[in-house]
Structure 1
Amino acid sequence: MKPADYAEGPGVVGRSRRAELVFGRGGGRSALMRQIAPYPFHVTRPFALDAARSDLATLYLQSASGGIYRGDRLDLSLEVRAGAAAHVTSQAATVVHDTGAERARQSTRIVVGPDAFAALTLDPLILFPGAALTVETAIEIADGALAILIDGVAWHDFTGEGRPFGSLVTETTVHDPAGRLLLADRSSITGEELSAASGLLGPERGAYGSALLLGVAERLPDPAAIEDALDALGCHAASSPLPNGAGLGVRMVAANGGRITAGVEAIFAIAVEAMLGFTPARRRK
């Protein structure tokens, strides 16, 4: 007998899990007020890593299962309430295994309250041959709030035969609390389109990443500074304003996931300095 929260059907077995994290402010600091983290999700206790902003809580979100598998439905809800400040990051890259006939799905919902700061910075997804994944992210950001969302993707054939992953479908939306759409970003790509010698990114590039830096223009970093920092790390990057004054968008491509990870860390550091006025401590992993 299989657990009731497994999704089943003809030839389909997968996990359906939902994690929930709610941060609030009290007593001069940001605290994790609500936590639901069923397997395969696992979280550490929140850390205060920055002497300049001891109220900024940093939490590591971990996977206890070795990756994402066929038919998985993994959902994360992250809420940072008014005046609170929270950074959620992953402990390492996440492997997406061969999903066969049933693609996996990963969804994230982020709600950022008035005058709050929220950051979700994720190490790259590593797409193995045959991996098919849909990633959906929805962000609601209130007036006066600041938010950072950074992630990346790499692909790897552990047999060395150059087999491609299946496909990756992504959708990211940003709304204000009234429901007005500020940004919609959608993409769909197959492994064959990226892995071939004449692929879209070229034969020497095996990873890419993106960032959304959300907030009013005067609290955002200089796009040129981001591009220069990423170029120095071996990430070819470009940044531009987002529609409806939502913030700043960044795209980067690189030879491998390790360089994208370095790029994620660099963007986070530059964005925090602009948004909060200090250089954050390195989030060791």
Structure 2
Amino acid sequence: MQTNNEAPLALDTLSLGASAPELARYQQEPPQMHSAAVGKNGYLRLKFVKRGNRSTLHEMERKVPLMVQKALYWDETMPFMPCVPIISTSGCVLQGDRLTLEVEVDAGACAHVTTQSATKIHSMDNNFAAQTQHIRAGEGAYLEFMPDPIIPHRHSRFISDTVIEYDRTATVIYSEILMSGRKYHHQDERFGFDVYSSRITAKDERGTTSFTEKLVLTPKERPLDVVGVMGTFDVYGNVIVLTPKAHQDAILAESPSFYSAGLCHGVSRLPNEAGLIFKVLSNDSVSVKHAIRGFWQTVRKTTTGYSLPTPFLWKI
């Protein structure tokens, strides 16, 4: 994890993977349809604002394969918070896909953003898939960004760049779960992907970079199922919480570390008093989701005073 005062490079999905060393060998264009072609250059912009006693999805712009339907208010404990699942009309992330997501939560507003299902990164024989995410949280805003797991298929290549711009009075919960692959589909699917690259950068309201975390996984070159990396575990969970210092101390006090042969997790402070980072490892996604939900409950209760509702059966 790095800290500096330099602004990150501008988010440009079309050029993101072209200069990445980890993708240097995967620049060839797909013969079926070139990268970023119509239907492969997705864009989604969501803006949430506070209107009276509740928040609303005030602006939405989309381009296939990304889309959303109307905001719903399914959270019974926070019925004023719009809940929006991101939908992909292509089903999987495919070679040559270039996806851009922008989420903005205005001052005093709140939102819950998730996905319709797991993000499946399809097997590739040419090129790669790239994604940029730009998240903004204004003064006193509250955002839960809680997508379902990412499942990289064998021979897939994926690069993602996320920038979170936040006011120091806001709370942002950013979650990601990475599977080892479709390990029950084929023996070569477990850590069978070629490249998984993810960078997350946070900047406060002054434009100062609080931290940058970059993860580059190339399991065929550097095995992941070794001591000090994933060991015997198959699923990795990562939750970044950006929130005021007073909340950080309370959350940390309620979040003890845990270790067993089947599950381990712990919480650390982020640099520059930006927030906290929660990491969890397990052999199955259910255990990881359960651990993340416990931490999520602590964060929500501490920052808003509200508890989580009973989970949907298909989200357990």
Alignment TM-score > 0.5, same fold: yes
Distance across 2 between alignment mates of 1:279 and 1:268? 9
Corresponding residue for 2:233?
Answer: 205
Distance across 2 between alignment mates of 1:77 and 1:233? 39
Distance across 2 between alignment mates of 1:233 and 1:27? 49
Alignment of 1:141-156 (within 5 A): 141-156=166-181
Structure 1 or 2: larger strand share?
1
Question: What is the RMSD computed on CA atoms of the aligned residues?
Answer: 2.6
Unaligned runs of 5+ in 1: 1-5
Corresponding residue for 2:153?
Answer: 128
Q: Deviations along 1:45-104, whole A, 9 cap, x unmatched? A: 222234443322211122222211101111110000011011101222111112333111
Q: 1:223 to 1:17 in 2, by over 3 A?
A: same
Corresponding residue for 1:190?
Answer: 218
8 Å CA contact 2:177, 2:236 repeated in 1? yes
Alignment of 1:53-202 (within 5 A): 53-157=78-182, 158-162=185-189, 164-192=192-220, 193-194=222-223, 196=225, 200-202=229-231
Does 1:274 pair with 2:305? no
| Bigger relative CO (Cα 8 Å, ≥ 6 apart) | 2
- Larger CA deviation: 71-80 vs 162-171: 162-171
Q: 1:63 to 1:234 in 2, by over 3 A?
A: farther
Distance across 2 between alignment mates of 1:219 and 1:56? 20
Does 1:11 pair with 2:30? yes
Distance across 2 between alignment mates of 1:77 and 1:231? 36
- Larger CA deviation: 99-108 vs 142-151: 99-108
Calculate the TM-score normalised by the size of structure 1: 0.88
Corresponding residue for 1:240?
Answer: 268
> What letter corresponds to residue 276 of structure 1 in structure 2?
T
8 Å CA contact 2:41, 2:64 repeated in 1? no
Q: Deviations along 1:239-258, whole A, 9 cap, x unmatched? A: 11111010111111111333
Distance across 2 between alignment mates of 1:85 and 1:206? 33
Distance across 2 between alignment mates of 1:197 and 1:161? 17
Distance across 2 between alignment mates of 1:275 and 1:53? 13
Distance across 2 between alignment mates of 1:236 and 1:249? 14
Unaligned runs of 5+ in 2: 1-13, 16-26
Query: Secondary structure, in 3 states, of the residue corresponding to 2:107?
Result: coil
Distance across 2 between alignment mates of 1:226 and 1:60? 28
Selected match of 1:253 from 275, 281, 306: 281
Calculate the TM-score normalised by the size of structure 2: 0.80
Distance across 2 between alignment mates of 1:65 and 1:233? 38
8 Å CA contact 2:263, 2:280 repeated in 1? yes
Cα drift, residue 267 of structure 1:
2.7
Corresponding residue for 1:3?
Answer: none
> What letter corresponds to residue 60 of structure 1 in structure 2?
P
Distance across 2 between alignment mates of 1:194 and 1:59? 37
Aligned residues: 278
Does 1:223 pair with 2:252? yes
Distance across 1 between alignment mates of 2:71 and 2:158? 29
Does 1:263 pair with 2:291? yes
Q: 1:88 to 1:162 in 2, by over 3 A?
A: closer
Distance across 1 between alignment mates of 2:291 and 2:133? 21
8 Å CA contact 2:225, 2:233 repeated in 1? no
Query: Secondary structure, in 3 states, of the residue corresponding to 1:19?
Result: strand
8 Å CA contact 2:73, 2:82 repeated in 1? yes
Query: Secondary structure, in 3 states, of the residue corresponding to 1:86?
Result: strand
8 Å CA contact 1:94, 1:123 repeated in 2? yes
8 Å CA contact 1:150, 1:211 repeated in 2? yes
Query: Secondary structure, in 3 states, of the residue corresponding to 2:238?
Result: strand
Name the % identity. Answer: 23
